[in-house]
Amino acid sequence: MGHDENYFLAGQYQLLADYYKYSDSQKHIYFYSMHIYHLQKWVSTMKPVPTREAPSNNRSQLRILHAAPGIMAVDVLVNNNPVWKDLRYTNSSRYVDIKPTNNQIEVIQNGQKLITGTLQANTDMNYTIAIAGTKDKLQLIPIVDDSTVPQSESKLRFWHLSPDAPSVDIAVKKGDIVFSDIAYGGISDYLGLTPMTVDLEIRVAGTKDIVLHLNRVSLKPDVAYTIVAVGLVKNSPSLEAIFLAP
């Protein structure tokens, strides 16, 4: 497919996405994703324009998400410095600056060390580390956050942190799959979307079996969202979704 054809298709899919924006969320998401796909193909064939790099602020940022069911509130140390105190299940911390180097992370509860890990941070990157798993199989799972969003647009991704849940698909309610076959600990790529309110559902991967309804998901302009599945399918606390923004 040629350079001009991708440009033409990107425009056609954008028109279709706009047409269905308020009448059919399933078709809107499908056509908008096709618009982004062909737009990226078109951009990839363009010759790069030399630009002056913005000066680096030579720092990174980190936040912590407590996603471990059955684990009470914890304290978190970074490089032996107490940074977050009394972080409770399903809560996320604020971002703090960290060094763009190896950072030691320690999770403490009532003076007892639950788990330690190391984050190799790069300059000018933002990270979230999830405290995940169950008490006998605790993990620290890091991801990279990207809050940049095209003006007046939004974007969405999904993070699977339910330790006893199978791989899942995330789909429009009674409609097409948005993110497919996400296993425990896995995270999807971001999907760029026009701001909207949409009903979603989490299904057992490859089936129509719904494990969780996500009704009235509101995507605001200029925000990057991460939907996180936490909790347990077969026990308590039960499966639920929390939203990180960005």
**CA distances (Å), origin 187, targets 61, 121, 137, 227:** 19, 19, 20, 10
Average of per-residue pLDDT values in the chain: 90
Per-residue tens of pLDDT for the chain, all 246 residues:
555 787 777 778 878 877 887 788 788 888 888 878 777 777 777 666 554 444 456 789 999 999 999 999 999 999 999 999 999 999 999 999 998 999 999 999 999 999 999 999 999 999 999 999 998 999 999 999 999 998 999 999 999 999 999 999 999 999 999 999 999 999 999 999 999 999 999 999 999 999 999 999 999 999 999 999 999 999 999 999 999 998
Q: Residues 51-95: pLDDT tens digits?
A: 444 445 678 999 999 999 999 999 999 999 999 999 999 999 999
pLDDT at 54: 47
How would you classify the pairing of strands 191-193 and 168-172? Answer: unpaired
pLDDT at 221: 94
Q: Rounded distance, CA 199 to CA 211, Å?
A: 14
Q: What are 112's two structure tokens?
A: 């007892």
The beta-carbon contacts of 118-121 under 8 Å, at least 24 apart in sequence, are: 119/62, 121/60, 121/62
pLDDT at 48: 60
Give just the sign of the alpha carbon dihedral 98, 103, 109, 112: negative
- The pTM for the full model equals 0.83
* Residue 216 φ/ψ region, left for φ over 0, alpha for ψ in the -120 to 50 degree band, beta for the rest: left
pLDDT at 25: 77
Q: Rounded distance, CA 114 to CA 125, Å?
A: 26
How does DSSP assign 38-60, residue by residue?
A: HHHHHHHTSPPPP-PPPPP---E
